[in-house]
Structures are given as structure tokens and as C-alpha cells.
Amino acid sequence: MIVGLKKAILHILDANSGLNVLSDTLLDVENAEINNFIARHIEKIYESGSLRPAEFKETSGFKAKLTQYKNGDISFVELSENAAERLGDAVFSSEDPAACDIVVCEFVTNEKNIIGILKCNNKTGVTHSVIQSDGHVLNNIINHYALLPPISQKISECAFIDMDTMEPKYTGKKYKIDGETVDIIADLLLECEFEISPRESANTVTRIAKKVALENGADTLETTARIKEYVTKSIEEDDYEYVDTDKVADIVFEGLPGIKEEFVKKIEKAGVPKHVEVNPYITKKMTSNVKIITDTGVEISFPPEYYRNPDYIEIMTNEDGTLSIKINNITEMLNR
């Protein structure tokens, strides 16, 4: 993913004073350090699978501001100030307000023009200070109370809006405000309705399939292996824009109509879409090796298509009820 940063501005929400410190000047996105900090954070979250697809409510005030900006009726600074004030009101009203910085940016990726809002929670860290007095130098250690999240850390609260389609996607956290649980990004900034994210969907498909299998006496290892094998084959056949949950049901619970129906109902109840969007996280998560951990401390990891294939793996039940695992056709063993 390549991010072409066009504009950016930083606003400070000081929870200690309860004041917004709003900037009226854009950041210099030609500055390599500034550009790298913002672009790397965007790249880390934008295609991670954590973002929830959403849709603005008709009454969304922020959508109205975005439309005004798109039409040239307000400036980028005014748009960013509106976002910061909305988040500031929410943060300061919460039961446990914490200081943060708000980065509002405009960038281009995959030929799409995107507005991004990054809520950067401040961290407390330790740094040094240099004090010179009476001809002496003291290198001191002090706390710093407003550190921005490092590039290695994924930002957990943010929103991105495609300015051509006006479609938002976001990730957020729950806060207690006036006794109610509120997602300040979805409910108070964007004012939108949302679906669960691709990451949540993929995890939910696997979790529910294993749960249904376990409750009905089916093999949970085989269930996991079949899901992974289906996704792997789809990728090999270049047909992997999405994971079809109906196909998962057909493949995983083949010949078990009752269990299949239960799985489909629970998937629908959980809000998982019929087609789960595929991205690098989904493909890595759902095509990874099957891992067996025994109560004796032995761990075995193998490709999902090897499960129940006696050419590679045999799992046998012994007369005393214990299990044995036999690994076949090994030509080389490495010590790692």
C-alpha cells in the first residue's frame, strides 16, 4: 500500500485542563519525519482487516461537513476543527478522560481520495533533560506525559472516509458517558451504522464452526482444517475476493444437515455477512497451518490438507481411550 499524503493537521485534546488546543496551520507533509509518521500509521491500520465498514446516518452532522468540504464551502482546517471538537466533547464527557492528539489528514491510495482521522492517545514515558546552572551541567531523568504512539504500535481508534463514495470505515473503543456505553468514533464523530470488521468476521466464522462442532460431537480439528483448506484452494484458484460463509457451511458440515443449519443460523445471528472480505490478514489467518497441542506438551503444526490424509498424518484412538499421532513419509528432520 502506498499513501500519498496531501494535507495533515494536528489538534490537541488536553484532558487535564479540559481544553481543545486547535491548530490553524497545516503540518508540513513535505517534511520526511512528519510524512513518515502519519503515512506509516495509516498503512498499519488501513488494510489490516480491523476496520468496520459503515454507513452514515442521514442526520450525520459530520457527513454534512465532509460534503461542505468536498464542495469547497469550508476549508480543510475547518473540517478538521469540527472533527476535533466532536471528539473533544466526547473524551471530556467520559468517565475516564485521557489526553490525546487528533491527526486529521487527506491522502490518496489506490486512486482513492481519503480523509483520515487518527485518535493518538498520549502515553507517559521517560526522557532526559539538560539543566545548566552555575557552570555545572545536570543530565536529568524526567517523565514526559504527552508521547505520541510509536510507528510500531497500531492506532486503535480511527476513521477513514472515501470522498468519492462517502463510505466510511472505522475502528473504535467503548466509553462510559453519562452512564451509557458509547463508541465515540461511530456514535459521536461519524454518526453511522456499522457492520463487524473482516477480522471479526473471520474470527467469528472459525469460532462458531468449532463451537457447533464441539456441541454436536464432531471433530473440531477437522472443522478447522476444512475451513483452512477451503480458503487455501480458493486462493490457488484465483477466486478469493471474499470468503463465502454458505460454502464454508457446505464444506465443513458436509453430510450433516442439522449441524450445518445450526451453524448458518448462528452466523446470521452474529451479524457476519454472507461474503467476508478477503485481505492479507484474512488469508494469513485462515490459511495458516493447523496446530495441535497435546496434554503431554507436544506441539505439531501441519498444512490443513494433511489432516485425515494417511499419507502424512494418522490420528488413532488406542484401546485405553488415549490418542496416538503418526507422521508418515518424512525424508528429513530439522532441529530448530
What H or E segment, with its residue span, contains residue 219?
A: none
pLDDT in tens, 138-185: 878 776 656 677 777 888 899 999 999 999 999 998 888 888 888 999
pLDDT band of 204, cuts 50, 70, 90: confident
Task: Say whether pLDDT at 239 is over 60.
Answer: no
Q: What is the pLDDT of the chain when averaged over all its residues?
A: 85
Rounded to 5 degrees, what are φ and ψ at 213?
A: -60, -45
Task: Say whether pLDDT at 11 is over 90.
Answer: yes
C-alpha dist (Å) from residue 207 to 162, 212, 252: 32, 9, 13
pLDDT in tens, 49-100: 788 889 999 999 999 999 999 999 999 999 999 999 999 988 888 887 788 8
Q: What per-residue confidence (pLDDT) applies to 170?
A: 93
Q: Burial, 248: exposed, middle or buried (Cβ in 10 Å; 0-12, 13-18, 19+)? A: buried
Locate the domains of the chain by residue range: 4-195, 199-327
- Rounded mean pLDDT of 265-286? 76
